[in-house]
Every structure is written in structure tokens, then in C-alpha cells.
Amino acid sequence: MSEKLDGKVAVVTGAGAGIGEAIARLFSEHGCRVVIADRSAQAAERVAGDISGLAVTADVTHEAQVADLFKACEEAYGRLDILVNNAGHPGPTVKVEDEDMAVWDETIAVNLSGVILCIKHAVPLLKRQGGAIVNLSSLSGLKGKPLRSAYCASKFGVIGITQSVAFEVGVHGIRCNAICPGGVFGTGLIDTIVGDRARAEGRSAEDLFDQNFVQPSALGKVIDRREIAETALFLVSDSAGAVTGEHLKVDAGR
């Protein structure tokens, strides 16, 4: 087993499934002790059990639960080296004049406020020895998409947070970067997004995914969640020791 992250401790949010689960499993393979944070206790416990990690049930929109998450990490491992903000909300697929502001608020709360809350409570631990933060943004955080105002707004915001925080915490030896995935196969988030948009446009989900994600890409391929995990591994490793405040597209060249 590689020891790229040997002795380090990571908190990964939304790690009970999808990209977060892939990141947690890959980090564990490289010697990292991982705190599996998820709103689903069952999902968190399943992944944690497989990798001998720590399962913590937490909703990133509630500051008290976020504070308890990092307290549990410190009590279990005595340190924190890595934070991966992966927990996400698909947001609505609607015309702007039909925007339900309650759903808008929920999307922003998870995708944007949840990121800043986790960073707020992680930084005091990361300051002790330095470390790395990786935020999951999206291609929709770089270019707006029709019917996707809430999601795009939240993911654009993640890029802004990443750049701002990088300048603030760099003096403490903490790096902060973002990943902008394209359409990733096998995640509930993309399934929801594609399904909602397909219904809104009167198309099949399969046809929409192929025409909007696969065919336009330079590599003409579906992205696997493991490929996003490998990118996260690079960004938190010493190999990226001079990389901060950046966003990295992983989209097969879409």
C-alpha cells in the first residue's frame, strides 16, 4: 500500500456515497485516517466500517453539527490535516421566474454555507501543522447553465471562497483548492441533475447525458468518480505543495 498520506487525518463530507465515498476510500488506501461525515448515519457507518474510519452523522447546514464533527475528529485522532468539502445539493431545474426560494435557500445552505462552515471549524485544527482543503465545485461554477441558477450560483461561490481562503490561510501552511468535475458516472447528484433537466426539456436522461456530457468531450468518455478522487489525492499530497487558490477541471476535455 502506498504511504502518500501516511499518518494524516482527513474529514470528508458527503462521504457516504458517490464522489465523497470514492475520495474516502482512496485516501484510506494511501494511509490516511478518514472521518466519514454524512447526513445518513447508515451510509457513513457502512463506508467507515469498510476502511476502519470514523463515522459521524452531520448536516453541514447546521453549525452545531459541524462543530461536533470537528470535535469528534480531534477527540478520535488528535489532529486534522485534510478537509474535503464534498457534500452537495443538486438544486432545482427551473426557469428563473418559477424559482422556489425555499429550494434556492436549501441549495445555497448546503453547497455554499456548508463549505464555509466546515472551513471555519477546520482551520483552527489545520493551523497546528498546516494542511490542505479541497472544495468540490463544478463546471457549473465556471459557466452558467439554463434552468440551473441556484446550483450555478452556489458553485460559482465555491470558487470565490476557495480563492479568498487560500490567500487568508496560506501563511499558516494551509492550501485551498477546488475541483470542477464534469458529469461523473455513478453518483446520485448527477443522476438527479440529469433526470430533472431531461424532464424539463422533454428528453430521455440517457440521451441528454450522452449529448451534453460524453459527445462534447475531447476524450469522448464518461468520467468515473475514482478519477475525481485521484485528483483530490494529488491536491492534498506533497506533490501539489505549491498549488493553492486554484480550480482544476476534471471533465474529459468538455
Question: Collapsing DSSP states into helix, strand and coil, what is residue 70?
Answer: helix
Integer Rg of the chain from CA: 17
Query: Does residue 185 sit in helix, strand or coil?
Result: strand
Pairwise CA distance, residues 70 & 55, whole Å:
12
> Quick check: is 77 catalytic?
no
Q: Which residues contact 201 (CB under 8 A, 6 or more apart)?
A: 208
Q: Quote the CA–CA distance of 223 and 189 in Å, as a whole number.
A: 14
Catalytic residue among 77, 151, 209, 213: 151
Distance (Å, whole) CA 233 – CA 235: 6
Please identify every residue annotated as catalytic. 151
